[in-house]
Amino acid sequence: MEILAPIQFSSIPRLPLFFWMFVLIYLIAYFIVFRNWNPKLRPEASSCLISLAHGTPAVFLAWSAIASDPNRGFASANTDFQSTVLDYSIAYFLMDLCHYLVFYPSDILFIGHHLATLFVFVTCRYLVFHGAYAILVLLVLAELTSFCQNTWTLASTRRADVPFAAKAWRDSQMGLGFLGCCSCNGHFC
């Protein structure tokens, strides 16, 4: 009689798993979390929610993957942990790209940004198997401002009809000056 071994996480393809996780988060955001929002605002809000689900965890995951690699170098081979973080980010960018292609197909700037990012991440992860260290350093720096930017976007979206959002957008640290400061110097966020 053959005994079957339990399925190990590493044996499950990570990219499809992460992609469907972001699809599920997007659908929950669109149909449950933001169901009472104006239908024109729901897609942007849902995109912000998956960005929040990606950005903050990506900072900690990428930092951990960088710190756990004894062969730190811009041309070092990717570790399994680094590849997992790349899969996580590739899945997010694929899902958000789908969002933009469906709801905002004329937003060439964001579509181009997602395509360029995907090109770099996919090349590093699946073609050359090197360079994750450098990309993850950039990912940490880029995603440090993600929470601030998404919070500002959500507050901006609802500021006309929700007093708290208007106050957060106008009076607190969610104004353009703070966002600019965060974008230029992420450690102030």
pLDDT tens by residue, 17-53 = 999 999 999 999 999 999 999 999 999 999 999 999 9
For the beta carbon of residue 4, count every other beta carbon within 10 angstroms. 5
H-assigned helices in the chain: 14-28, 42-67, 80-103, 108-122, 132-143, 146-158, 163-170, 176-184
Contact 87, 42 (CB under 8 A): no
Contact 189, 182 (CB under 8 A): yes
**Residue 177: which pLDDT band, with cuts at 50, 70 and 90?**
low
Single pTM value for the model: 0.81
**Residue 97: which pLDDT band, with cuts at 50, 70 and 90?**
very high
In 3D space, the residue among 58, 43, 143 whose CA is nearest the CA of residue 98 turns out to be 43
Q: Is the pLDDT of residue 108 over 90?
A: yes
- What letter represents residue 87's amino acid? D
Q: Which positions ≥6 away from 3 have C-beta within 8 Å?
A: none
Q: Is the pLDDT of residue 182 over 60?
A: no
Q: Which positions ≥6 away from 31 have C-beta within 8 Å?
A: none
Looking at every residue in the chain, the average pLDDT score rounds to: 84
